[in-house]
Structure 1
Amino acid sequence: MIDRIWSGSSLLYLILLPLSWLYGLVSTLIRLSYRCGLRKSWRAPVPVVIVGNLTAGGNGKTPIVIWLVEQLQQRGYRVGVVSRGYGGKSAVYPLVLSQNTSPREAGDEPVLIYQRTGAPVAIAPKRSDAIQALLQQHQLDVVITDDGLQHYALQRDFELVVIDGVRRFGNGWWLPAGPMRERAARLNSVDACVANGGVAQEGEITMRLRAREAVNMLSGERCPVAELTHVVAVAGIGHPPRFFAMLEKLGTDVEQEVAFADHQKYQLASLSALTPVGQTLLMTEKDAVKCHAFAQPNWWYLPVDAVLPSVEAEQLLKKIENLLSN
């Protein structure tokens, strides 16, 4: 229902407009309070790159964060990552991730970024606390924040916005009548825009997600996802249809699609019940980080990588490198 409302397919958004106007007023006042100096923001001693979005719900932010970390690491930069840690609940903040940190503590996305990149990662409700915790333990050249475009208590040197190239901005209204955290005009003040899927508009960099081989969660065996049979596909991400559409495009033998809420907390019994006659359970890598402790032999996950056109990617990285050389 919420997708229909946000996409403009339902007039029910009209009922929610008063709440949207209130949301827009409050968010605008908060931003102005920082711009006018009424509230103090904190500047890190190293450059800060924000990877965020204007809309609620899975735009492909985490794959871009991973891509950016890996690209900068390959160029010899020491990169740290901070996040709010949505979906996790730590006994103490800030929390610097280690090999023993669970998604229940840190959230699924920070754990995924840490496992994929090996970069230092810290979480805290105040991202300035997370950055300071990282800098106490690591020498860093740059910090990337996973989300936080609207977290104006933290000053930033570069803003990169990820847009769902298919859904775009829906009906254009603020939450809850629409998907917007800020209006689309905010794009005029950011440093770069990446469109995930669809058709990139002028000034946007096209991004697509490229699937790797599927990975068995117990044995580590790898194979092309199209070779898996009798698949039950599950996704607890911001926009599950994107995962299911990718599987269809790859020719996967999917017998059932099961969508869960973003940051879903999984249990062995509920997931095992989805494959009672020995089918293959296939999930996203983000889901898999929460399931390794109780994974079964028929459980697999599909890693994906962000892919950007080489010329535009190099231009984007040069802009960020210029910050690091100043």
Structure 2
Amino acid sequence: MSDFRLALEQAWLKKGLIACVLRPISWIYGLLIWFRRMLYRSAILPTQSLPVPVIVIGNVFVGGVGKTPLVIALVKQLTQKGLKVGVLSRGYGRHREDALSVNALSLAKDVGDEPLLIARSCQVPVFVGKNRFQAGRALLAQNPQVQIIVCDDGLQHLALNHDLALCVFDERGLGNGWLLPAGPLREPWPMHFSASAPIISLATSHQLPQQPQVDFQVPRALAKIARKSDGSTQVLSQFSGQKVQALAGIGKPQSFFDMLRAQGIVLTTTKALADHDDLQAVTIDPSMGDVLCTEKDAVKLWQYFPSAWAVPLVTEIPQALMDIILAQIGPKLSSDYGQQTT
């Protein structure tokens, strides 16, 4: 991760000199956001709907907040309820913009790292595309059994209508509370729908005083097992006392390193990369010990370093939140897409 990016991310956490200098640009950005929303509200720009309920899981804090484990947990828990689920994603970091089906053999450069991880973890139909509506139509055309779509990110994608939005934060909360580029927010908070959207925090502790009013605390944890590309596994605690190096290209790499250390693992080196970073140029010295990385990094890293160990980040959605989700989407499930579930 570049020194400039690190400095900017630190500036976003307080109302210091850098943030104050950038504040006038944030006002212009805020006007553009308001004008864009007005175009959609007045139907000058169209909002289109899919024939099945759509749940959006997203964030207003720019960059990653670690919501992919939450997406995976929701898809799995909906599937356990007997629902046929599909997933849509922009596929950040991919080299294409057209709608494309994702499967376990897809390449991250074509579909994005997060959609590939979701497809491998959940084994449900996953489509990526810049135009979420077109990607959704393609998904339903190939998978007519799908009853509900979970959209990974997309709070700011106003061209696709959604039935329920879940807004996710990590321990950084709202940062300094300012819009880009003076702060980390993609749009003003509270958002236009925040009164009805469940607010979820993935944090176990909070760094900053500016926090949203959280409805559900859904902390992440490391899985007990690490896995290699060949399917072999090792209990995470067995890495204690060994030489271990860690790599993370997620929104907040330090959180992954801290969780490893909390398990008693001593890290000889750490590599903090930008979210969705291309790992082809990453240099790894095998003499420095085993490599531990997140599952999201592994879908790219295994192409170049198959002996790396992936450590999943796992979470479980509280029953109270699942009750809200099912209450919202249950009446909207169409018999055309399977048996109605409540």
- TM-score, normalised by the number of residues in structure 1: 0.92
Larger deviation: 10-19 or 308-317?
Answer: 308-317
Quote the residue 1:288 is aligned against. Answer: 298
Q: In the superposition, relative to structure 1, how do residues 201 and 261 fare at CA in structure 2: closer, same or farther (>3 Å)?
A: closer
Quote the residue 2:93 is aligned against. Answer: 87
2: distance between equivalents of 1:231 and 1:190? 45
Cα displacement (A) at 1:100: 2.8
Cα displacement (A) at 1:216: 3.8
Q: Which amino acid aligns with 2:269?
A: Q
Q: In the superposition, relative to structure 1, how do residues 323 and 242 fare at CA in structure 2: closer, same or farther (>3 Å)?
A: farther
- Asked if 1:157 corresponds to 2:163, the answer is yes
Given that 2:29 and 2:180 are in contact with CA atoms closer than 8 Å, whether structure 1 keeps it comes out as yes
Q: Which amino acid aligns with 1:259?
A: A
Larger deviation: 234-243 or 189-198?
Answer: 189-198
For the residue of structure 2 that corresponds to 1:25, the secondary structure is: helix
Quote the residue 2:283 is aligned against. Answer: 271
1:15-164 correspondence to structure 2 within 5 Å: 15-90=21-96, 93-139=98-144, 140-164=146-170
Residue ranges of structure 2 left out of the alignment (5+ in a row): 1-6, 334-339
Given that 1:218 and 1:295 are in contact with CA atoms closer than 8 Å, whether structure 2 keeps it comes out as no
Identity %: 35
1: distance between equivalents of 2:249 and 2:306? 18
Quote the residue 2:190 is aligned against. Answer: 185
Quote the residue 2:232 is aligned against. Answer: 221
Q: Which amino acid aligns with 2:328?
A: K
Cα displacement (A) at 1:49: 0.7
Given that 2:103 and 2:116 are in contact with CA atoms closer than 8 Å, whether structure 1 keeps it comes out as no
Quote the residue 2:173 is aligned against. Answer: 168
Quote the residue 1:210 is aligned against. Answer: 221
For the residue of structure 2 that corresponds to 1:133, the secondary structure is: helix
Cα displacement (A) at 1:314: 3.8
Larger deviation: 184-193 or 227-236?
Answer: 184-193
1: distance between equivalents of 2:47 and 2:141? 20
2: distance between equivalents of 1:290 and 1:148? 23
Given that 1:205 and 1:308 are in contact with CA atoms closer than 8 Å, whether structure 2 keeps it comes out as no
2: distance between equivalents of 1:266 and 1:214? 23
Cα displacement (A) at 1:202: 4.9
Q: In the superposition, relative to structure 1, how do residues 158 and 312 fare at CA in structure 2: closer, same or farther (>3 Å)?
A: closer
The CA RMSD measured in Å over matched residues stands at 2.0
Q: Deviation digits for residues 83-124 of structure 1, max 9, x if unmatched?
A: 11101113x611111333110001100000000001101111
Larger deviation: 193-202 or 18-27?
Answer: 193-202
Cα displacement (A) at 1:316: 3.9
Cα displacement (A) at 1:293: 2.4
Given that 1:194 and 1:207 are in contact with CA atoms closer than 8 Å, whether structure 2 keeps it comes out as yes
Cα displacement (A) at 1:288: 0.0
Quote the residue 2:265 is aligned against. Answer: 252
Q: Deviation digits for residues 26-57 of structure 1, max 9, x if unmatched?
A: 11111121112221110111111111111112
Q: Deviation digits for residues 187-223 of structure 1, max 9, x if unmatched?
A: 6344211111136975510111122134342442322
Larger deviation: 299-308 or 192-201?
Answer: 192-201
Q: Which amino acid aligns with 1:237?
A: I
Cα displacement (A) at 1:321: 3.2
241, 256, 263: which is aligned to 1:243?
256
Given that 1:57 and 1:239 are in contact with CA atoms closer than 8 Å, whether structure 2 keeps it comes out as no
1: distance between equivalents of 2:37 and 2:322? 30
Residue ranges of structure 1 left out of the alignment (5+ in a row): none
Cα displacement (A) at 1:295: 2.6
Larger deviation: 23-32 or 105-114?
Answer: 23-32
Given that 2:47 and 2:158 are in contact with CA atoms closer than 8 Å, whether structure 1 keeps it comes out as yes
Given that 2:227 and 2:311 are in contact with CA atoms closer than 8 Å, whether structure 1 keeps it comes out as no
